[in-house]
Amino acid sequence: MDFNESKSVYRERIEETLAFSGKGLDHFTRVKARYLRDIARQELPQLHHPRLLDVGCGHGYIHPDLSRYGFDIVGVEVATEVLPIARNANAEVNYLGFDGTTLPFADGSFDVVTAICVMHHVPPDQWLGLAKEMRRILRAGGIAAIFEHNPYNPATRYVVAHSEFDDDAVLLSPPTLSRLLRDAGFSRVKARSILFTPFEGRVFDVLDRYLGWLPLGAQHYAVGTTR
């Protein structure tokens, strides 16, 4: 899938794919933003405005939430025709194109790096190289948080199978994602599942956090540090 060609219809197509769940893209984006906020607060409690790099940022749909949580955001994207749309929606964010291999930043430039449902579009033989690039651009004590679709979840497999954007997808299981971070040189790697239900509210938020040990959520993430 060429994400440049689909830039104007991307959201519409994603909403169509998610319709069976009763929730739209914004719900799933908000959940991941809250987890990123909590990860940063736990791992970097001394920083009120951590500098965050979003690798494969796309349209920047998550950036309004991350900005409200105090992140200083930079986004990079291979599909560079999407970036004017992202800039128009998020004037406070700095957006850059990149070649998919080398992140255009000096060593130690960021406090946090994230890739949100991006790695499954990267050829598997390039996973380790990209993860090492993420580590390179983090300062000492920085954190990486990578979110992915969970191949153990039947609903997720349904979404992926019916999404034209995932024709090339190679899903990473939770153990695979954790191992990738370790192989890239990250330490203190932790992982959990998220999005066990499509419902909102305090009860369901608590339930989601309680069930994180169970590898059956619709998505999952792994966190590693450069300490």
Domain-located, residue 115? yes
- Nearest by Cα to 23 from 205, 190, 195, 207: 195
**pLDDT score of 1:** 56
Please report, for the domain that includes residue 97, its CATH number.
3.40.50.150
pLDDT of residue 2: 64
Contact present, 193 and 214 (Cβ < 8 Å): yes
In angstroms, the Cα distances linking 126 to 33, 129, 166, 184 are: 26, 5, 17, 12
Residue 178 has pLDDT above 90, yes or no: yes
In a domain, 65, yes or no: yes
Average pLDDT over residues 2-20: 76
**What is the rounded average pLDDT for all residues in the chain?**
93
Residues 190/50/137/188 CA torsion (nearest 10 deg): -20
76, 56 contact by CB (below 8 A): yes
Q: Is 113 helix (H, G, I), strand (E, B) or coil?
A: strand
pLDDT in tens, 99-134: 999 999 999 999 999 999 999 999 999 999 999 999
pLDDT for residue 200:
81
Total domain count, the chain: 1
Whether 1 is in a domain gets the answer no
Domain hosting 187: range is 10-225
Whether 5 is covered by a domain: the verdict is no
- Tell whether 2 is covered by a domain: no
- Give the angle 81-164-191 at the CA atoms, nearest 5°: 85
What does pTM read for this prediction? 0.93
Please tell me the least confidently modeled range out of 52-56, 133-137, 154-158: 154-158
